[in-house]
Structure 1
Amino acid sequence: MGNDRFIELVSKKLTNEISSEESAELEHCLNSDEINRRDFEFLNIYWNSNDTEFADNALAFQKIKTKIKSQEADSFLASGSKRSYSYVWRAAAAVVLLAGCSWFFYSRFVSKRINLLTATPNAWQNKNTVKREKSTIILADGTRITLNSQSTLKYPAVFTGKTREVYLSGEAFFDVYKDHEHPFIIHTEKMNIKVLGTAFNVKSYPNDPQSETTLIRGTIEVTLDDRPSDRIILKPSEKLIVKNGLFATRHRNAAKLKHAETGSGMQYVLTTFTRLQQDDSTIVETSWTQNKFIFRDESFPILADRMERWYGVDIKFKNDALKQYRFSGVFEKETISQALNALRMTESFNYKIKNSTIYIY
C-alpha cells in the first residue's frame, strides 16, 4: 500500500468517515506492517488527546473536510464521479496529517529523546489507576501499555543496560517494541515474563487467588519467583495460570501434559485464550481493552472483585452460601444495578446499595 492511500485511510478512520471496506483494507495494512500499525496507534492516541497543538490539527482537518464536501457537492452529483472529490480529499488529508505527523514526531520523539538524554538513568516512574480508570502509557522504547483499573506500573524514565524491565501489580496489556538485543521483562508478585517483541495480557492483582498471562502473538518465557530454574514457554493463543504459589497451564495436547507433570513434579495445566463466540474475534482475556466486561463460569467472589474495579464500588457478602454461585455473561454499558439484576435472573439473591457499597444477601 502506498503512503498516499495509507494517509487517506488513516484520516478517514480518525474522523469516523471510513467505510467497512476501507476499514478492512486499513486493518490488513496494520496487521501486515508493524511500523504502520505502531504509527497509527501513536497517532490515534494523540488525535484523541487533549493536547492543544494536535487538537488544532484535528479541527483544521474537520474544517477542510467540510469545505471540500460543500465545494464538490454539485460537481459530484453532476458527473457521478468521485475522482475530483477523492483527489481533493487526499490532498487535504496529506496536508493536515503530514503537518500533524511532523509536529507529532518532532514533539513526541525528538524532544522526548532530548529529555531522555538528560534524564537520570536510575529514575523510576510510577503510574497508578483507580477503580473505573484505564490508562495508556508509551515507554521510552516505544512499547505501548494499557493499564487496567486499580493497577500500578513501575518503569524507568529511560532504559539502560542489557534488559528493559518494568514492575506490574494489577492488569495490563503489553504491545512490546521489538528489540532482540534488549529483552523486555515484566516482574509481578508471582512470576517474571521475558519477551523480545510481542502482544500479551498480564493479570496479577495482589488479593486475587490466581495470576494469568495470555499470549496474543509472538513468544514469551515465564519464570516463577520461587522456582527460577523452571522456564515455561508460551506460544500464541496460550494462557498460563499461577495460583497459590503453584503454576498451572492447560494444553490441548494430553501427551505433552503428562510429560510436563512427570518432568517437573508440578501440576501443568495448559489452556488457550477464550473466544466470546466461535464467529467472534473478541478474546475474553483482553476484552477489557475494548470496554467489554466478559466472564465465563466465574465464581461470585471473583466476579464481585472484578465488578468492584469495573464499577468503582465495594461489594460485601452477608451470606457466604451465595459465594458458591457461578456466572457467565457480558456487560458493556450496563449500570451496576442493571448488571446485578441480570445476574439475579440466573441465580437467586438480593442486594442493597448504600452509597458506593453493595450488600449481597
Structure 2
Amino acid sequence: MSDNRKRLASAIRRWLSGTGSPAESKFVELYYDSFETEPDITDEHNLEERALIFKRISASIGEENQGKVRRMGWWPVVKIAAVLLPVIGFISWWMLQSGHHTYPAITAYDAIIRTGSTEYKTCKLTDGTMVWLSPQSTLKVFAQAGAERIVELNGEAFFDVHTDMERPFVVRTAKLHTTVLGTSFNISAYNGSAAEKVVLLNGKVKVAAAERKADAIVLRPLQRVVWKKNADSLLVTDDPDAVLAADRRKGIYNYRNVPLKEVLEDVEKIYNVHVKYSTSLDACNFYGSFDRNEEVKRVLQKIALTLNGAAVAEGPQVYLLSGKACY
C-alpha cells in the first residue's frame, strides 16, 4: 500500500475513534461506497472495524428511516452544500497527494496511441476519423468535447478526417497547429527534428506556428508547408507529388528529388537503425522508393547505388553509407 493510502486508512481510524476532523468524517462516509473497489484500503481494517464503520454511516444518513419519503425545502439543501464544500476540499487534497490530479478538459485524454520501432498502427477515432500512425510515434486523443476535435502528435501520421462542419479537427505538434474540417493529409513532426511538414492531398487545412497563431496560412490540395528550426518560419510550396504521401501509411516510401538526409532519417525510424555517412553527401538528393517489408541492407544498397557508393554493416543496427559527393 502507498504512503498516501496508509494516511487515508489512518484518517478512517481517527474517524472511528472520534478524533478526526469534520471534513475527514464526511469524506470517510462518502468514501465508504468505494470500499469494494479499494481492497488495499479495506484490508487495513478488520471485520469489527468495518461493521462499526457501516453502523456509524447508517446512523449518520438515517438509514433506520428507510422507506419514508420526505420532501426537502431549500434550507436543508443549503446545509448539505455547506457540509460538502469542506469534503470536496479534503477529497481534492487527497487526490493531489496521491497523484490523482484533476485537469481542465483540454488535457483529458480519451486515449494515447503509441507505435514502437518498426511498428505501424491504423486506428479509427470516435468521430470516425481514420489515422495511420508511423513508427516511433505517439498520438494523444483529447476528450471529444467542446467546439473542436483535438489530437496531439509526436511523430508521423496520415489523417483521413471525418467531416464535421461545426467541429474542426485540430492536430497539434511541437511547432504547428493544423486545423481542418474534413480532408486527407500527412504530418511529419517528430520531437526534436529540424523541420515539421504538412502535406495536403485534398480538402483545405489551416496551418499556424504554435507560438504565432495569428500568422496562419491556408493550404490548397497538392501543397505542402514546412517549418524549419533554423528559419523559424512557414514555407509553402506546390507539391505535385503530394499523393505519394498517402502511400506512406501503407509502408511504401516514394522520393522524388528529396534531400538524402530526410530519406536516411526515414530509414532510421522505420528500421530502428543508425546510418553513418559523410557530410559531403548532405547536398545529395534521392529519386527512388522502397517498401518497409524490404530488408534494411537492401534499401541502403539501393540508395548507395544512386551515389555510386556502397552500404556496409558496421555492427548491430549500425550501417555505413558511402558515395560520391554532391555539389
TMscore range, shorter length: 0.5 to 0.7
Corresponding residue for 2:317? 356
TM-score w.r.t. the length of structure 1 is: 0.55
CA displacement 1:117-169 (0-9 Å, x = unmatched): xxx9634421111222111121121111111111110113x401111111011
Corresponding residue for 1:272? 239
Corresponding residue for 1:297? 257
Distance verdict in 2 for CA 1:231–1:324, change over 3 Å: closer
Distance 2:109 2:158 in 1: 23
- Bigger radius of gyration: 2
Q: One-letter code of the match for 1:322? A: L
Contact 2:118–2:270, Cα closer than 8 Å, also in 1: yes
Q: One-letter code of the match for 2:215? A: D
CA displacement 1:197-252 (0-9 Å, x = unmatched): 221111112243222111122211111123211121112222112212211002xx
SS at match of 2:167: coil
1:235 aligns with 2:230: no
Distance 1:217 1:346 in 2: 32
Runs of 4+ in 1 over 6 A off after TM superposition: none
CA RMSD of aligned residues (A): 2.1
Structure 2 counterpart of 1:142, from 128, 144, 163: 128
* Structure 1 unaligned spans of 5+: 1-119, 251-270, 276-282
Structure 2 counterpart of 1:313, from 242, 248, 273: 273
CA displacement 1:164-212 (0-9 Å, x = unmatched): 1110111111111111221111111111111112211111122432221
1:249 aligns with 2:236: yes
TM-score w.r.t. the length of structure 2 is: 0.60
Task: Name the structure with the higher strand share.
Answer: 2
* Structure 2 unaligned spans of 5+: 1-103, 323-327
1:128 aligns with 2:114: yes
Task: Name the structure with the higher helix share.
Answer: 1
Distance verdict in 2 for CA 1:322–1:219, change over 3 Å: closer
Contact 1:177–1:197, Cα closer than 8 Å, also in 2: yes
Q: How many pairs does the alignment contain?
A: 213
1:323 aligns with 2:282: yes
Distance 2:148 2:301 in 1: 49
Contact 1:143–1:177, Cα closer than 8 Å, also in 2: yes
Contact 1:143–1:174, Cα closer than 8 Å, also in 2: yes
CA displacement 1:33-55 (0-9 Å, x = unmatched): xxxxxxxxxxxxxxxxxxxxxxx
Contact 1:238–1:273, Cα closer than 8 Å, also in 2: yes
Distance verdict in 2 for CA 1:155–1:273, change over 3 Å: farther
Contact 1:239–1:273, Cα closer than 8 Å, also in 2: no
CA displacement 1:69-104 (0-9 Å, x = unmatched): xxxxxxxxxxxxxxxxxxxxxxxxxxxxxxxxxxxx
Distance verdict in 2 for CA 1:226–1:324, change over 3 Å: same
Contact 2:274–2:317, Cα closer than 8 Å, also in 1: yes
Q: One-letter code of the match for 1:130? A: G
Corresponding residue for 1:344? 304
Structure 1 counterpart of 2:145, from 149, 160, 164: 160
Distance 2:194 2:235 in 1: 13
> Alignment identity in percent?
27
